[in-house]
Structures are given as C-alpha cells and as structure tokens.
Amino acid sequence: MKIPAELRYSSDHEWVTTGSTTVRVGITDYAQDALGDVVYVDLPDVGTTVAAGGSLGEVESTKSVSEIYAPVAGTVSAVNDALASSPDLINSDPYGQGWICEITLDEGVTLEGLLDASAYGELTNN
C-alpha cells in the first residue's frame, strides 16, 4: 500500500494535502483496496460547510457503500467532477486524479490532529 509522506491522514482512511489554507481530500490506497471496485461517488456540494468527522458523501463499490468523512472543518470549495463519469479513478489513482474535494479550512483549523504517514502505516499495519 502506498502512504505518501507529504500527506496527513485520518483514522477513517481519508488523506489531506498540507501547506495551504485550502486542502485537497481523498480516500487512501488502503481504503480503496478494502472497498474493491468503486462504481459511484456521491460528492458534496461546493459551498457546503463541514465539521471534522462529519459526512462528505459516500463511495459505492461492488462490495459495499462507505461514508466519506471530513478530516477537517471548513467549506467545500471544489469537487472532482471527473468522478461522476470515472469513479474508478479512486481505485487507479487514489492520491492523484481520484481526489474527492477541496476544503477551505475554517479560521484557526490546523492539521495537528491528523496522522503522519508513519502513524497511519502503524494504524493499517503497513
């Protein structure tokens, strides 16, 4: 399983980019592997305010339907429209073209509570 060192991770298997007040969010390689073939993604609406741990949408696979949780609090500022016609991008490129949305962080929100690559690797036994 890939666990890029430059990202931060939630214990719910979402990843977050660092270094900006707007972060990109997706699900991890571990999560997409556990889901199996992704066939549909329910994306949040741009402008939606989310709380850390709140629902961002759902990912439906041939095995199950799973919630996508917001790893940080903020406002959805962009969504990956390519997932509407190609939800399998989550399987083929979870850290690249398979991103879910971008969130502009609420004032004062930091990524301090999220896991680094090493801690996420321990969580997933990788």
Residue 116 scores a pLDDT above 90: yes
Instruction: State what percent of residues in the chain have pLDDT above 70.
Output: 100
3-state SS of 108-120 is CCCCCCCECHHHH
Domain layout of the chain by residue ranges: 8-109
Confidence band (pLDDT; 50, 70, 90) for 1?
Answer: confident
CB 4 within 8 A of CB 95: yes
Work out the average pLDDT over 9-38.
95
pLDDT, the chain, mean: 95
- Kindly report whether the global pTM for this prediction surpasses the value 0.75: yes
pLDDT digits (tens, 9 = 90+) for 47-80: 999 999 999 999 999 989 999 999 999 999 999 9
Instruction: State what percent of residues in the chain have pLDDT above 90.
Output: 94
3-state SS of 27-76 is ECHHHHHHHCCEEEEECCCCCCEECCCCEEEEEEECCCEEEEECCCCEEE
CATH of 8-109, one of 3.40.50.410, 3.40.190.10, 2.40.50.100, 3.90.870.10: 2.40.50.100
User: Can you give the pLDDT at residue 19?
Assistant: 85
Residue 123 scores a pLDDT above 90: yes
pLDDT digits (tens, 9 = 90+) for 91-106: 999 999 999 999 999 9
